[in-house]
Amino acid sequence: MSDTFVLDGEDVPFVPGQSVLQAALSAGRYIPHLCYHPEFKPHGSCKVCTVKANSGLGSRYASSCTLPAQAGLEVESATEEMNELRRTLVQMLFAEGNHFCPSCEKSGSCALQALGADLGVMTAGFRHFYPDRPLDASHPDFLLDSNRCILCQLCMRASSEVDHKHVFVLSGRGITKHLIVNSASGRLADTDFALTDKAAEVCPVGVILKKRVGFAVPIGQRRFDQRPISAQALDDAPRPSDTSRGTA
Protein backbone atom coordinates (compact mmCIF):
# COMPACT_ATOMS: atom_id res chain seq x y z
CA MET A 1 0.00 0.00 0.00
CA SER A 2 1.23 3.50 -0.84
CA ASP A 3 1.47 6.21 1.77
CA THR A 4 -0.94 9.05 1.15
CA PHE A 5 -1.55 12.65 2.14
CA VAL A 6 -4.74 14.65 1.69
CA LEU A 7 -4.92 17.34 -0.98
CA ASP A 8 -8.10 19.42 -1.00
CA GLY A 9 -10.01 16.61 0.67
CA GLU A 10 -8.77 13.75 -1.53
CA ASP A 11 -6.04 11.18 -0.89
CA VAL A 12 -2.89 11.50 -2.99
CA PRO A 13 -0.37 8.61 -3.04
CA PHE A 14 3.34 9.32 -2.89
CA VAL A 15 6.66 7.52 -2.82
CA PRO A 16 9.47 8.44 -0.39
CA GLY A 17 11.44 11.44 -1.56
CA GLN A 18 8.62 13.10 -3.48
CA SER A 19 7.51 16.61 -2.63
CA VAL A 20 3.84 17.49 -2.34
CA LEU A 21 3.96 19.10 -5.78
CA GLN A 22 5.70 16.14 -7.41
CA ALA A 23 3.28 13.64 -5.88
CA ALA A 24 0.27 15.75 -6.84
CA LEU A 25 1.37 16.08 -10.47
CA SER A 26 2.19 12.37 -10.64
CA ALA A 27 -1.34 11.63 -9.43
CA GLY A 28 -2.91 13.95 -12.00
CA ARG A 29 -3.61 16.75 -9.52
CA TYR A 30 -2.49 20.21 -10.62
CA ILE A 31 -0.94 22.74 -8.24
CA PRO A 32 -0.06 26.01 -10.03
CA HIS A 33 3.69 26.58 -10.20
CA LEU A 34 6.26 28.49 -12.22
CA CYS A 35 9.92 27.98 -11.26
CA TYR A 36 9.59 24.23 -10.72
CA HIS A 37 11.01 22.03 -13.51
CA PRO A 38 10.78 18.22 -13.30
CA GLU A 39 14.40 17.77 -14.39
CA PHE A 40 15.91 19.85 -11.57
CA LYS A 41 15.88 19.76 -7.80
CA PRO A 42 13.15 22.17 -6.58
CA HIS A 43 14.29 25.28 -4.75
CA GLY A 44 11.10 27.29 -4.19
CA SER A 45 12.13 30.70 -5.52
CA CYS A 46 8.85 31.98 -7.01
CA LYS A 47 6.40 30.84 -4.26
CA VAL A 48 3.57 30.43 -6.80
CA CYS A 49 3.11 26.82 -5.66
CA THR A 50 2.50 27.88 -2.04
CA VAL A 51 -0.06 25.75 -0.19
CA LYS A 52 -1.45 25.63 3.34
CA ALA A 53 -0.28 22.47 5.11
CA ASN A 54 -1.43 20.94 8.39
CA SER A 55 0.52 18.03 9.87
CA GLY A 56 -1.26 18.00 13.23
CA LEU A 57 1.02 20.65 14.74
CA GLY A 58 -0.86 23.57 13.26
CA SER A 59 -1.20 25.09 9.79
CA ARG A 60 1.62 26.73 7.90
CA TYR A 61 2.26 28.06 4.43
CA ALA A 62 4.92 26.28 2.39
CA SER A 63 6.17 25.96 -1.18
CA SER A 64 4.73 22.64 -2.32
CA CYS A 65 7.75 21.99 -4.57
CA THR A 66 10.02 21.77 -1.51
CA LEU A 67 7.51 20.46 1.05
CA PRO A 68 8.18 16.72 1.58
CA ALA A 69 5.13 14.53 1.14
CA GLN A 70 4.35 12.66 4.33
CA ALA A 71 1.57 10.41 5.55
CA GLY A 72 -1.24 12.21 7.29
CA LEU A 73 -0.37 15.64 5.88
CA GLU A 74 -3.42 17.73 5.01
CA VAL A 75 -2.88 20.25 2.22
CA GLU A 76 -5.07 23.04 0.87
CA SER A 77 -4.29 24.30 -2.62
CA ALA A 78 -7.38 24.83 -4.77
CA THR A 79 -8.91 27.46 -2.52
CA GLU A 80 -9.71 31.09 -3.26
CA GLU A 81 -7.23 32.15 -0.57
CA MET A 82 -4.34 30.30 -2.24
CA ASN A 83 -5.30 31.32 -5.76
CA GLU A 84 -5.63 34.97 -4.74
CA LEU A 85 -2.10 34.77 -3.33
CA ARG A 86 -0.89 33.28 -6.62
CA ARG A 87 -2.62 35.97 -8.65
CA THR A 88 -0.86 38.62 -6.58
CA LEU A 89 2.53 36.96 -7.12
CA VAL A 90 1.95 36.72 -10.87
CA GLN A 91 0.85 40.36 -11.00
CA MET A 92 4.04 41.35 -9.20
CA LEU A 93 6.14 39.43 -11.73
CA PHE A 94 4.40 41.21 -14.60
CA ALA A 95 4.96 44.58 -12.91
CA GLU A 96 8.64 43.96 -12.13
CA GLY A 97 9.64 43.20 -15.72
CA ASN A 98 8.81 44.32 -19.24
CA HIS A 99 6.18 41.87 -20.43
CA PHE A 100 4.38 43.15 -23.53
CA CYS A 101 2.61 39.94 -24.49
CA PRO A 102 1.00 40.99 -27.82
CA SER A 103 4.40 41.82 -29.33
CA CYS A 104 6.53 39.18 -27.59
CA GLU A 105 8.02 36.31 -29.58
CA LYS A 106 7.32 34.01 -26.63
CA SER A 107 3.58 34.75 -26.59
CA GLY A 108 1.65 31.50 -26.59
CA SER A 109 4.66 29.59 -25.28
CA CYS A 110 5.28 31.71 -22.19
CA ALA A 111 4.65 30.03 -18.84
CA LEU A 112 4.08 33.34 -17.03
CA GLN A 113 1.49 34.44 -19.57
CA ALA A 114 -0.20 31.03 -19.52
CA LEU A 115 -0.24 30.88 -15.73
CA GLY A 116 -1.79 34.33 -15.56
CA ALA A 117 -4.52 33.21 -17.94
CA ASP A 118 -5.09 30.01 -15.98
CA LEU A 119 -5.46 31.94 -12.71
CA GLY A 120 -7.72 34.57 -14.23
CA VAL A 121 -5.30 37.50 -13.92
CA MET A 122 -7.01 40.28 -15.85
CA THR A 123 -5.22 43.42 -14.62
CA ALA A 124 -1.65 44.40 -13.76
CA GLY A 125 -2.60 45.15 -10.16
CA PHE A 126 0.58 47.13 -9.51
CA ARG A 127 2.37 50.08 -11.07
CA HIS A 128 4.90 48.79 -13.60
CA PHE A 129 8.58 49.28 -12.86
CA TYR A 130 9.65 49.36 -16.55
CA PRO A 131 13.24 48.29 -15.86
CA ASP A 132 15.87 49.43 -18.34
CA ARG A 133 18.12 46.45 -18.96
CA PRO A 134 20.22 46.28 -22.13
CA LEU A 135 19.56 43.71 -24.83
CA ASP A 136 22.45 41.45 -25.77
CA ALA A 137 22.41 40.46 -29.42
CA SER A 138 26.13 39.71 -29.58
CA HIS A 139 25.77 35.91 -29.82
CA PRO A 140 25.38 34.52 -33.36
CA ASP A 141 22.51 32.24 -32.35
CA PHE A 142 20.74 33.92 -29.43
CA LEU A 143 19.18 37.17 -28.32
CA LEU A 144 19.27 37.77 -24.57
CA ASP A 145 16.52 40.08 -23.28
CA SER A 146 16.82 40.22 -19.49
CA ASN A 147 13.99 42.77 -19.28
CA ARG A 148 11.64 39.79 -19.14
CA CYS A 149 13.59 37.80 -16.55
CA ILE A 150 11.53 36.49 -13.61
CA LEU A 151 14.60 35.27 -11.65
CA CYS A 152 13.48 31.63 -11.75
CA GLN A 153 17.13 30.51 -12.03
CA LEU A 154 16.28 27.68 -14.44
CA CYS A 155 18.89 28.82 -16.99
CA MET A 156 21.50 29.00 -14.22
CA ARG A 157 20.72 25.52 -12.96
CA ALA A 158 20.60 23.99 -16.43
CA SER A 159 23.90 25.60 -17.39
CA SER A 160 25.55 24.48 -14.16
CA GLU A 161 24.02 21.06 -13.54
CA VAL A 162 23.54 19.78 -17.10
CA ASP A 163 25.80 21.79 -19.41
CA HIS A 164 28.58 22.24 -16.80
CA LYS A 165 29.33 25.70 -18.18
CA HIS A 166 28.03 28.18 -15.57
CA VAL A 167 27.08 30.70 -18.27
CA PHE A 168 24.35 32.51 -16.33
CA VAL A 169 24.33 34.07 -12.87
CA LEU A 170 22.24 36.53 -10.87
CA SER A 171 23.84 39.77 -9.71
CA GLY A 172 22.67 42.32 -7.14
CA ARG A 173 20.21 42.03 -4.30
CA GLY A 174 16.54 42.82 -3.80
CA ILE A 175 15.07 45.10 -6.45
CA THR A 176 18.47 45.39 -8.17
CA LYS A 177 18.85 41.65 -8.73
CA HIS A 178 19.24 40.84 -12.41
CA LEU A 179 20.58 38.24 -14.81
CA ILE A 180 24.12 38.53 -16.17
CA VAL A 181 26.44 36.23 -18.10
CA ASN A 182 29.72 34.84 -16.87
CA SER A 183 32.23 36.56 -19.11
CA ALA A 184 34.71 39.36 -18.55
CA SER A 185 33.01 41.51 -21.20
CA GLY A 186 29.51 40.73 -19.96
CA ARG A 187 28.55 39.65 -23.50
CA LEU A 188 26.89 36.34 -24.28
CA ALA A 189 29.09 36.04 -27.39
CA ASP A 190 32.14 35.74 -25.14
CA THR A 191 30.84 32.59 -23.43
CA ASP A 192 30.67 29.02 -24.73
CA PHE A 193 26.86 29.04 -24.80
CA ALA A 194 25.59 26.82 -27.64
CA LEU A 195 22.39 25.77 -29.38
CA THR A 196 22.71 22.28 -27.91
CA ASP A 197 22.82 23.52 -24.31
CA LYS A 198 20.00 22.58 -21.96
CA ALA A 199 19.99 26.17 -20.74
CA ALA A 200 18.92 27.24 -24.23
CA GLU A 201 15.50 25.62 -23.85
CA VAL A 202 14.38 25.98 -20.23
CA CYS A 203 13.55 29.69 -19.98
CA PRO A 204 9.82 29.91 -19.21
CA VAL A 205 9.51 33.47 -20.55
CA GLY A 206 11.11 35.40 -23.41
CA VAL A 207 14.63 36.01 -22.12
CA ILE A 208 16.68 33.51 -24.14
CA LEU A 209 15.48 33.60 -27.75
CA LYS A 210 16.91 31.70 -30.69
CA LYS A 211 17.69 33.89 -33.70
CA ARG A 212 16.25 33.32 -37.18
CA VAL A 213 13.30 31.25 -35.96
CA GLY A 214 11.06 34.03 -34.68
CA PHE A 215 7.36 33.39 -35.23
CA ALA A 216 8.10 30.18 -37.14
CA VAL A 217 5.08 28.82 -35.27
CA PRO A 218 2.31 31.41 -35.63
CA ILE A 219 0.73 32.88 -32.52
CA GLY A 220 -2.51 31.02 -31.99
CA GLN A 221 -0.93 27.67 -32.76
CA ARG A 222 1.59 27.53 -29.95
CA ARG A 223 1.97 25.31 -26.87
CA PHE A 224 -0.36 27.14 -24.50
CA ASP A 225 -2.65 28.36 -27.26
CA GLN A 226 -3.69 24.76 -27.78
CA ARG A 227 -4.07 23.57 -24.19
CA PRO A 228 -3.82 25.38 -20.82
CA ILE A 229 -0.68 25.23 -18.72
CA SER A 230 -2.45 23.09 -16.11
CA ALA A 231 -3.01 20.31 -18.67
CA GLN A 232 0.54 20.62 -20.04
CA ALA A 233 2.03 20.32 -16.54
CA LEU A 234 0.19 17.08 -15.91
CA ASP A 235 1.39 15.72 -19.27
CA ASP A 236 5.00 16.56 -18.41
CA ALA A 237 4.97 15.19 -14.85
CA PRO A 238 7.26 12.20 -14.25
CA ARG A 239 5.35 9.26 -12.80
CA PRO A 240 6.86 6.49 -10.68
CA SER A 241 6.57 2.98 -12.09
CA ASP A 242 3.63 0.90 -10.93
CA THR A 243 6.04 -1.24 -8.92
CA SER A 244 7.61 1.63 -7.01
CA ARG A 245 4.37 3.52 -6.58
CA GLY A 246 2.26 0.60 -5.42
CA THR A 247 -1.49 0.74 -5.25
CA ALA A 248 -3.60 2.96 -3.08
- Domain with 70, as residue range(s), is 3-78
**Number of domains composing the chain:** 2
Q: Alpha helices, DSSP H only, in the chain?
A: 20-26, 80-96, 111-119, 154-157, 223-226, 229-236, 242-245
pLDDT, residue 57, reads: 76
Looking at residue 236, what is its pLDDT?
87
Shared domain for 207 and 141, answered yes or no, is yes
Q: Are residues 130 and 213 in the same domain?
A: yes
Same domain for 216 and 131?
Answer: yes
Q: Looking at residue 242, what is its pLDDT?
A: 42
Same domain, 55 and 105: no
22-31 per-position pLDDT tens digit: 999 999 999 9
Q: What is the pLDDT of residue 241?
A: 59
Q: How much is the pLDDT for 243? A: 35
Which of 78, 107, 124 is the last residue before a domain boundary? 78
> Percent of the chain at pLDDT above 70?
96
Which of helix, strand or coil describes residue 175?
A: helix
149 in a structural domain: yes
Say if 244 falls within a structural domain: no
- Asked whether residue 88 is assigned to any structural domain, the reply reads no
> pLDDT-based confidence at 126, cuts 50/70/90?
very high
**Strand order across the beta sheet in which 208-210 lies:** 135-136, 142-145, 208-210
- Residue 21's domain is classified under what CATH number? 3.10.20.740
126 and 181 share one domain: yes
Section 32-40 average pLDDT:
94
Do the Cβ atoms of 189 and 140 come closer than 8 Å?
Answer: yes
The residue with greater pLDDT, 191 or 242, is: 191
Same domain, 68 and 138: no
- Predicted confidence at residue 238, as pLDDT, reads 84
Q: Does the pLDDT at position 35 exceed 90?
A: yes
Average pLDDT over residues 124-142: 92
Residue 70 shares a structural domain with residue 181:
no
Q: What is the pLDDT of residues 74-106, one digit of tens each?
A: 999 999 999 999 999 999 999 999 999 998 999
Q: DSSP class of residue 189?
A: G
Same domain, 197 and 107: yes
pLDDT at 2: 66
Q: Closest Cα to residue 21, out of 34, 9, 59, 194? A: 34
Residues 43, 46: Cα–Cα separation, whole Å: 9
Residues 53 and 125 in one domain: no
**Burial classification of residue 216, based on how many CB atoms lie within 10 Å of its CB (0-12 exposed, 13-18 middle, 19 or more buried):** exposed
